[in-house]
């Protein structure tokens, strides 16, 4: 896929570029990012260079990961936001997972929620996603707060779903449907009783 640039009232979401490696590296020194995500630990500059120069571009070209760098309108790096696990994007499932992390210096401004809404709307309208999932390790309250503020509906806990730092961990799972944001879908939905 040709990577788009998305804009919101305060943000620009664009593919990461080699010049973003230092900002990614600096953000990923944060204890919370290292604790709650699966980035390498310790996170070295070479990891950031590989992420922005190889992994992210390969994800776009191979339709495996659609990752955006999130920036304020003046170009300040905010974080990383994207669709992961695109193996179920095709019909009939039309499902993707939203993943994100935020530079600690940019937390508390609502940027991550704003970016997540933009990516969700884009995924529903442009990619035909009909179920957007969010997963986070149990205990990651900050990530769950973002998901809830976007409108994700918490569905429960999945045991031993994720491996992080060589340990199998339980995750919370939630979903956002296009109709939750007033966007129609191709496939009718009949909720259970």
Q: Dig out the tokens for 52 from the structure.
A: 């922005």
Question: For residue 91, what pLDDT is reported?
Answer: 84
Look up residue 135 and give its two tokens. 């997963």
pLDDT of residue 129: 97
Pull the structure tokens for residue 102.
């935020």
Given pLDDT bands bounded at 50, 70 and 90, which one contains residue 85?
A: confident
* Residue 24 pLDDT: 98
Residue 17 has pLDDT above 80, yes or no: yes
Q: What is the mean pLDDT of residues 58-75?
A: 96
pLDDT at 29: 98
Taking residues 58-65, what's their average pLDDT? 95
pLDDT band at 135 (very low <50, low <70, confident <90, very high): very high
- State how far the alpha carbon of 137 is from the alpha carbons of 7, 36, 141, 143, 167, in Å: 29, 7, 9, 9, 11
Q: Which residues contact 179 (CB under 8 A, 6 or more apart)?
A: 185, 189
Average pLDDT over residues 36-41: 94
> Is the pLDDT reported for residue 1 higher than 90?
no
pLDDT value at residue 193: 76
- When the pLDDT of each residue in the chain is averaged and rounded to a whole number, the result is 96
Distance CA 151, CA 34 (A): 26
Helix spans in the chain (H): 21-27, 31-36, 45-50, 56-62, 111-126, 141-150
Cα distance between residue 131 and residue 93, in whole Å: 8
Q: Provide the pLDDT confidence category of residue 123 given band limits of 50, 70 and 90.
A: very high
Helical ranges in 99-140 per DSSP H: 111-126
Residue 18 has pLDDT above 80, yes or no: yes
CA distances from 6 to 123, 129, 168 (A): 11, 17, 35
pLDDT in tens, 136-181: 999 999 999 999 999 999 999 999 999 998 999 999 999 999 999 9
């Amino acid at each position: 896929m040709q990577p788009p640039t998305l804009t919101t009232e305060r943000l620009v979401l664009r593919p990461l570029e080699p010049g973003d490696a230092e900002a990614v590296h600096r953000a990923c020194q944060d204890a919370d990012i290292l604790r709650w995500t699966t980035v390498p630990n310790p996170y070295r500059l070479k990891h950031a260079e590989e992420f922005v120069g190889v992994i992210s571009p390969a994800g776009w070209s191979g339709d495996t990961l659609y990752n955006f760098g999130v920036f304020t309108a003046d170009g300040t790096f905010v974080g990383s936001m994207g669709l992961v696990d695109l193996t179920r994007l095709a019909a009939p499932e039309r499902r993707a997972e939203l993943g994100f992390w935020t530079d600690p210096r940019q937390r508390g401004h609502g940027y991550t929620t704003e970016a997540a809404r933009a990516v969700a709307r884009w995924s529903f309208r442009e990619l035909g996603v009909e179920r957007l999932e969010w997963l986070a390790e149990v205990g990651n309250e900050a990530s769950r707060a973002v998901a809830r503020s976007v409108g994700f509906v918490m569905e429960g806990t999945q045991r031993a779903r994720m491996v992080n730092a060589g340990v199998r961990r339980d995750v919370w799972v939630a979903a956002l449907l296009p109709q939750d944001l007033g966007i129609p879908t191709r496939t009718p939905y009949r909720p259970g009783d």
